[in-house]
Amino acid sequence: MINNFFKNFKINNLYILLFFLSYFIFGIFLIQDYGISWDESASRMYGFISGNYVLEKILPEETYLKLFEGIINSRFSDLSHLDAPKLMEHKDKAYGVFFELPMAFLEVVVGFNEIKNVYLFRHYVTFSIFFVGIIYFYKYLNIIFNSPSLALLGCIFLISSPRIFAESFYNSKDIIFLSIFNVSNYYGINLLMKKNFNNSILFSLSVAALTSFRVIGLLVPILYLILAIREYFLTKNINIIKIFFLTLFLFIFFLVLFWPFLWEDPIGNLIYVIFHFASRLQNQEMLYLGAEVLSSDLPWHYLFVWIIVSNPFHITIFSIIGIIIFLVNFFKKKFLSTDFNFVKLSILLIYLIIPFSTFILLRPDIQSGWRHFFFLLPSIIVFSLICINFLTRETNIKIIKNFIFIIISLSLLHTFVWSAKNHPHQYVYFNNLIYKKKLISFFDKDYWGLSNKQLIDFLVENYEDDKIYYDHINSSNIYLSLNNLKEIERKRFIKKENMPKDTKYYFYFFNNANKAPFEKQKKIMLLNNKNEIVKDIVVDGSSINTLYKIYN
């Protein structure tokens, strides 16, 4: 059965088109279910700060002052609670703006009347870019395996990971980087196969976008250019050197073009970015394996554990077996029948070794699970496909093939059922098939406050009061989450400090992202006031966000 599926089954291009089209339509209908994350307001502000810098550079001073001075504080008043310094004075100046700068431009051009629509538009664009990245992942896998069925299965693995699925609708940092990573790899493989001007410029554009988004993206162009040099020494083909220098020049040109922070001092500012991210310390408290840890003092196994526990069983188990199969056959040179096979598989190995090694050696200050390393998942999935491909094509034991098919089917079914049951809170998914206790109680949960949307919508739908008074725990981004509402609804929400003394009750938002730092605050509040729970969002038996009604 499994052998027929993966070896003999031919997928018609029409079916592939229908799959991607259905997934896109399905995603478009779900976008409105997801809230606004902590980072979105600051990221949006950074886009305007960078845009302000660009306009100041390219426009005559008189025109600039006349048309654009004060644009953030006047037209975009919802951003006025944040500092709006010049780009070179901004605390986040080391971040790239490949996504945020165009989004700021589009926001000005479209001219949204409702702030709700601004964030909704951002989510539509984020999901659309992820969708394009999935298509390129399919094309990349098809080159690796020369099998449309395995390529499609790899895409299903990626979108079936509940955390990736959820964050593809709102995470304009890690998901966009993952998507551009897929695009860059596809054009990189194409460039290695056909060294021509078209592939050179497409690869240069994609890796410049990747690096301008996050400096760790430098890994991709450096790796592919090293492989090009290696090929030159093997073949002595002078055309390779020509394409090498052309690609290098175009990459540097596009990198500086896409990243305004580099305009004044490309080398110096790039060095600043590298050291900034290598040395920054935020010292945020996080819940990890049931204990409080600081983001600046993470254990060496942090990244490994998070990847294992927050991905579905079929990805975790097959990728581990796939890496073992890969290493055994790599050193036996069974996979290396051609030099191109060596190149393809070396790239996969390096994509895992360098990021994991960098994390273990440098222990960067990262927060919120492993989202900064989401770009590793495509390579992890490739190793799971190597396992499936090897066991279904190279072994002749029918029971093994059927067993693999059953494991894939049951794990995918379990993941889909869990995602449907807990929609739209897939961002707190943990793999509970191995460990008997619910893992969600041992780790941070809704650290971005996305579930605030469901609590706010509940109040709007169930309470007809003209004014809804509220308070919240420090970890709840309520002020930002209220932007999910239209202005007329948003004005109903008034903070507790502005509440008249004779008000009978108010509502209290408690985000259980990380209980320990705020548990004492919660207990004091509940002990001193009569209260009741009016809405509790529960996933896998654990409360991730609770709405209390507090009586005065």
pLDDT of residue 146: 87
Question: Ranked by mean pLDDT, which of 151-155, 436-440, 547-551 comes out on top?
Answer: 151-155
Once rounded to an integer, what is the mean pLDDT over residues 67-80?
Answer: 53
Q: For residues 278 and 347, is the Cβ–Cβ distance under 8 A? A: no
Higher pLDDT pick, 127 / 290: 127
Split at pLDDT 50, 70, 90, the class of 25 is very high
Give the chain's mean pLDDT. 85
505-511 and 468-472 beta bridge pairing: parallel
Q: For residues 84 and 77, is the Cβ–Cβ distance under 8 A? A: no
Contacts within 8 Å (CB) and 24+ apart, 68-74? 71/108, 72/45, 72/48
| Residue 89, Cβ density class (10 Å: 0-12 exposed, 13-18 middle, ≥19 buried) | exposed
Higher pLDDT pick, 190 / 525: 190
**Residue for token digits 């190597």?**
386
User: What kind and span of H or E run contains 297?
Assistant: none
Cα dihedral 424, 430, 436, 437, rounded to 10, equals -80
Task: Using the predicted structure, report yes or no on whether residue 472 has a pLDDT greater than 90.
Answer: no
pLDDT of residue 80: 46
User: What kind and span of H or E run contains 239?
Assistant: helix 238-258
> For residue 42, which phi and psi values (nearest 5 degrees)?
-65, -40
**Alpha-carbon gap, residue 48 to 260, rounded angstroms:** 12
Lowest mean pLDDT among 73-87, 289-303, 429-443: 73-87
Q: HEC states along 413-467? A: HHHHHHHHHCCCCHHHCCCCCCCCCCHHHHCCCCCCCCCHHHHHHHHHHHCCCCC
Split at pLDDT 50, 70, 90, the class of 85 is low
Task: Using the predicted structure, report yes or no on whether residue 84 has a pLDDT greater than 70.
Answer: no
Lowest mean pLDDT among 81-95, 149-163, 498-512: 81-95
Task: Using the predicted structure, report yes or no on whether residue 342 has a pLDDT greater than 80.
Answer: no
Largest CA distance in the chain: 86
Q: Over the stretch 116-146, which tens digit does the pLDDT of each residue have?
A: 999 999 999 999 999 999 999 999 999 988 8
Cα dihedral 27, 30, 33, 37, rounded to 10, equals 10
CB contact set of 161 (below 8 Å; sequence gap of 6+): 311, 312, 315, 377, 415, 429
Distances (CA, A) of 319 to 130, 157, 382, 408: 22, 11, 8, 12
Lowest mean pLDDT among 175-184, 232-241, 271-280, 308-317: 271-280
Q: For residues 256 and 263, is the Cβ–Cβ distance under 8 A? A: yes
Higher pLDDT pick, 5 / 221: 221
Lowest mean pLDDT among 67-81, 185-199, 283-297, 529-543: 67-81
Q: What is the C-alpha end-to-end distance of the chain, expressed in Å? A: 66
Nearest Cα to Cα of residue 455 among 439, 471, 438: 471
pLDDT of residue 8: 43
What is the CB-side half-sphere exposure of residue 51 using CA atoms within 13 A? 22
Split at pLDDT 50, 70, 90, the class of 10 is low
**Alpha-carbon gap, residue 363 to 451, rounded angstroms:** 30
Q: For residues 190 and 203, is the Cβ–Cβ distance under 8 A? A: yes
Q: Over the stretch 30-58, which tens digit does the pLDDT of each residue have?
A: 999 999 988 898 888 888 888 888 887 88
**Alpha-carbon gap, residue 346 to 23, rounded angstroms:** 32
**Alpha-carbon gap, residue 3 to 1, rounded angstroms:** 5
**Residue for token digits 């919120």?**
368
Task: Using the predicted structure, report yes or no on whether residue 83 has a pLDDT greater than 70.
Answer: no
